Each structure stands twice: as C-alpha cells, then as structure tokens.
C-alpha cells in the first residue's frame, strides 16, 4: 500500500508531501489544476520513462519519493531476491535533472531504472494513458488468467517441467558433440578412482595416524620422562611418596596432643592417595610405551603417500574421501552421457511429462478464459460501453514454452460493431481505464498488485454510469488501495478520502497544491463539481445528500 508520496520541483509542483490511507481515495479539482501531475509523478518514481520536461521551470532537478507498506507478495519477494528488503516498508526515490538524466534508489541503495520498474510493476497498477499498466503486458495478462483459473501452481509446474526438458535436451546435444572429450574425462576418472581406492584412506584414519606419528617420533623422550617421574615419586630413597608417608607418621603421633593437626592429616591422606594413583597410572603408561623405529618408518611412509595424493589432486588430505565419492558420481554421470539411447529416452520422457502438465494448464485456461470473457463483457455494459466485448484469446504456439502451449492476449471491442483489438492498443485513455476497472472488479480476489490507480476513468460518462463507476471503485477499495482522478461528483462521493488539487501563482510561476478535505470541505468541493462556478445552498444540499447516499 502506498503510504506517502513526496514531490519536489516536478512540473507545476514545488513541494508536496501526501499521506494516503487504505480504501478508495479520489483526487479532484479544477481542470488544469494538476491532478494528473500527481499520477505522473508516481509513475516516474515507479520507473516510467522521464525526461527534462518534468523538471519545474527554473529548477535544477525534480525529485519524487514514494513509501509503501508491504505485505507478503510479489513485491516483498522481489526485494528479498535482490537483497533490497528493509522490514515491512519500502522507499523508492528518483531524481531527474535538467539534462534529462535520472538516478534511482530502492531503500537507499542505488538501482537501475529497470529495477525500479520491475518493483513498481509489483506495487502499483496505473490505468489510463500510462506505460505503467500491467494489464497491457502479455506476461501480466497470462498470470492474471492463471490466477483467475486457480492454476498458478500448475503454471509453476509447467515452468519446472519445461526447464527439466530443456536441461535433458542440452545434455543430449552436448554429449553428441563432445563424445571424445567425455571419453577422455572418463578415462582420467577411472585412473583417479583406482588410485584413491588403492590408497584406501578414510577421514578418521587421518586423525589417528597423526596422533600415532607424534607419539612414535617422541617415544624416547616420553619413556625417559615417565621413568624420571616414577623414580622421583616412588622409587628413589627420597621419593615424594615416602617423604609424605614419613610426615604423616610423625604428625599422627602428635595429634592426641593437639586436635588441630587432624585437618592437616586429612589433607596428607588425600595427597598420599592421589600420589599413589599417579604412580599406578605412570607404571601402566610406561608399560605401554615402546620405542619402535620400524613402526615409525611405516607411519611416516603412510603419511607421505596420503600427502602425495592430496598434492596430486590439488586438495587437502581430509578431502580425499570426498574427492573419491565425487569422482565415482561423476563417472556414473559420464557413463549415462555416452549412452545416446539413454539420453534420448530421458529427453523424450521429460518432454512428454512437460506436455502432459501443459495440457492440463491449457484446459484450465480455456475454461477460465470463457468465464472471464463473459464476466468482463457484462461489466463493460454497465460502464457506457454497450455492445462492447472483452475476450481472452488463447493462441497455440508451435512448441511448448516455459509458460505453456499457448499465448494469452486480452482483446476488446469497445462498442457494438467495433472489431476486437489487443487491449494494449486501445486508443482511448478513458475507455482503457473503464475496461481495466471491469477486469479488476471481476478478478479482485486473485489480483496481486496492492495499489490501483485510475486516471481518465470518467472520460465521456456521467449520470447513472458515473454512480456505477463510483460503486465499483468503492467495492474494489475493500480489497485494494484504490485511487482515482475524477471530475464526476458521483465518483468523488463514493470515496473514503478526497484530496483537492488547486493551482495558483507563486513568485510569478504557476504552482499546484493538494489538501485533504474534511467533511465540510468535501461538501463544498462536490457542490462545486455539481454546480460549476456559482455554488448555491441547493447544490450544497445535493452534495451532502450525495455523500450520505453512498
């Protein structure tokens, strides 16, 4: 949802800071006041083409920023994928200088205008004479039909199956062209696997043999140290154990004269026990120690063989078992690569699987296309396009693509007798906006773009049709954030919020300002829209009744 729009030195605007809420909002004001400039500014910050003509006269640059509150959806997914996410808010900024060059940022990080546009397509749909309208794009039309058909998961499965088929196809083609290279690689792998199997090296052996080599290399020093410790503790005439025992005997004879010695004797008891256990451990350790030059030689030779293999295959000793497993796996893959029949069968199976899922998607699209065509056509009859027809055209393609077996195109005939034409080539901005309103209303439950903007939707209509447009926009506002530039009081009265755009002279230059209207101001503004220049009590009463009736 768009929460804030900040515009500086853009066409007639010197500075505007607008805060938006949920639901349906209208922009109203006198003709030429600059209502559509707000939409143009938003389109610019969403990545639409911009040039020096947008910079306010006498200024060096124009700047527009837009802040959005995000929920889980395509926009959040795009930010996450491109490492541009900043919690649940998103700030877009674009600066256009007098030379026509522009710079763009997303959440404070410099980006290309293309990145800005890709994100903008997921945030806002502008319906009118703007490029920033997803309904005019083949991919968006296809995705909307799939969503309406409840076939988004099926569409994803087609894309995955197609990717698997193409991968199998590339593997088969590569194998046909590189048979000699594959054969050489297989020979090298077989030799490598043979050497590593013969080495029979395990990861746990590396730890054990390293410890054994260290122990054997220092065996003489270890024996000497163990014998010295045993003599010092228990075998010399002045051994520590005998000395402690003598001290204990001496003090024991005197403890009856002074009970305070009991604590000292208890400590000596503990020391004697610990010293005796130490002696036992040292004797056991000494018995296991041996100086074995032959075993040391064997261990050193084994270590050298392991190091040599690691150097040869440009890895570490610990990774040799991993290398062996990877080599065996690669050899199995190459065995399949040299089997032309197996590769062809794999490709055929992948293709058949893709076509099967794509056929299911085609059936779902066909059924949904008929339903969507009928419902949008019905909605068009209520929007001053009597006899108009909307049709979802499915055109078969020669070979299955990542999106399925057909192209999807929205076509429309605005009035009875008019030929069907692609939606993207519909000339009238007002007609295009009303068709978009019909489509958005029918597909509101599955549409994923959170903010919808309608410009020129009221062109060429009035009276009862205007009331219908207002009700449809209000209903749409229950599921989306909806904004509309309008001249019609019936449409304006249906909105939850109303902004008035005004133009006045400032320092010799025209400037546009925007204000959010309260209840009293809304009555005055809708009365102006009803009655023209002279506003009477009757028009005010009519305006109040209009506001109360929606």
Residue-level pLDDT at 431? 78
CA distance 94 to 96: 7
* pLDDT beyond 70 at 160: yes
Q: What b/e string do you get for 144-171 counting C-beta neighbours within 10 Å, with b at 16 or more?
A: bbbbbbebeebbebbbebbebbeebbeb
* pLDDT beyond 80 at 338: no
Residue-level pLDDT at 188? 87
Residue-level pLDDT at 288? 65
Residue-level pLDDT at 532? 65
Q: What is the pTM of this model?
A: 0.65
CA distance 477 to 452: 9
Residue-level pLDDT at 231? 67
Residue-level pLDDT at 144? 92
What are residue 48's phi and psi, to 5 degrees? -70, 160
Which of 150, 75, 144, 142 has the alpha carbon at shortest distance from 115?
75
The pLDDT of 374-399, averaged and rounded, is 91
Residue owning tokens 């030195």: 9
Helix (H) or strand (E) holding 409: strand 404-413
CA distance 52 to 256: 109
CA-to-CA dists, residue 124 to 99, 128, 273, angstroms: 28, 13, 83
Residue-level pLDDT at 156? 94
pLDDT in tens, 270-327: 888 888 888 787 777 666 656 566 766 777 788 888 888 888 888 888 888 888 898 8
Residue-level pLDDT at 129? 61
CB-CB contact of 71 with 123 (8 Å): no
Helix (H) or strand (E) holding 344: helix 340-381
Model confidence at 343, pLDDT cuts 50, 70, 90, reads confident
CA-to-CA dists, residue 92 to 64, 85, 105, angstroms: 8, 12, 6
* pLDDT beyond 70 at 237: no
Share of the chain above pLDDT 90, in %: 33
pLDDT in tens, 419-441: 898 887 775 667 788 888 889 88
């Amino acid at each position: 949802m768009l929460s804030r729009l900040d515009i500086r030195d853009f066409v007639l605007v010197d500075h505007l800071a607008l805060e938006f809420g949920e639901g349906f909002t209208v922009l109203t004001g006198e003709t030429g006041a600059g209502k559509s400039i707000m939409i143009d500014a938003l389109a610019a910050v969403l990545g639409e083409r911009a040039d020096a003509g947008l910079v306010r006269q006498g200024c060096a640059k124009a700047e527009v920023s837009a802040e959005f509150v995000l929920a889980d959806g395509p926009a959040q997914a795009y930010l996450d994928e491109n490492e541009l996410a900043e919690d649940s808010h998103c700030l877009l900024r674009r600066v256009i200088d007098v030379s026509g060059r522009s710079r763009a940022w997303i959440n404070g990080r410099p980006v290309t205008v293309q990145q800005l546009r890709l994100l903008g397509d997921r945030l806002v749909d502008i319906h009118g004479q703007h490029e920033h309208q997803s309904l005019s794009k083949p991919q968006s039309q296809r995705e909307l039909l799939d969503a309406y058909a409840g076939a988004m998961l099926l569409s994803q499965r087609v894309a995955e199956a197609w990717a698997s088929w193409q991968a199998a196809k590339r593997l088969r083609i590569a194998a046909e062209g590189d048979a000699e290279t594959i054969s050489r690689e297989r020979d090298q792998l077989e030799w490598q696997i043979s050497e590593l199997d013969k080495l029979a090296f395990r990861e746990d052996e590396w730890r054990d043999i390293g410890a054994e080599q260290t122990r054997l290399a220092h065996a003489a020093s270890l024996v000497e140290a163990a014998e010295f410790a045993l003599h010092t503790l228990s075998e010399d005439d002045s051994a520590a154990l005998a000395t402690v025992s003598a001290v204990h005997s001496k003090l024991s004879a005197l403890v009856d004269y002074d009970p305070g010695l009991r604590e000292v004797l208890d400590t000596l008891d503990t020391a004697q026990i610990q010293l005796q256990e130490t002696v036992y451990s040292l004797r056991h350790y000494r018995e296991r120690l041996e100086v074995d030059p032959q075993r040391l030689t064997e261990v050193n030779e084994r270590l050298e063989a392991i190091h040599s293999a690691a150097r040869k295959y440009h890895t570490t000793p610990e990774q040799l078992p991993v290398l062996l497993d990877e080599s065996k796996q690669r050899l199995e893959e190459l065995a399949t690569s040299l089997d032309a029949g197996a590769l062809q069968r794999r490709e055929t199976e992948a293709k058949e699987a893709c076509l099967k899922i794509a056929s299911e998607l085609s059936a779902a699209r066909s059924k949904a296309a008929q339903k969507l065509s009928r419902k949008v056509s019905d909605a068009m009859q209520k929007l001053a396009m009597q006899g108009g027809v909307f049709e979802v055209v499915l055109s078969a393609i020669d070979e299955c693509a990542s999106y399925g077996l057909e192209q999807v195109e929205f076509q429309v005939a605005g009035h009875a007798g008019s030929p069907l034409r692609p939606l993207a080539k519909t000339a009238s901005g007002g007609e295009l906006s009303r068709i978009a309103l019909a489509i958005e209303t029918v597909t509101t439950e599955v549409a994923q773009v959170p903010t919808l903007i309608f410009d020129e939707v009221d062109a060429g209509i009035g009276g009862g049709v205007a009331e219908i447009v207002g009700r449809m926009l209000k209903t749409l506002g229950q599921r989306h954030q909806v904004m509309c530039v309008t001249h019609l009081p019936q449409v304006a009265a249906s909105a939850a919020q109303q902004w008035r755009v005004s133009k006045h002279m400032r320092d010799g230059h025209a400037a546009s300002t925007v204000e959010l209207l309260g209840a009293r101001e809304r009555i005055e503004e809708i009365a102006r829209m009803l009655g023209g220049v002279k506003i009477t009590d009757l028009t005010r009463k009519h305006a109040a009744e209009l506001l109360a009736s929606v």
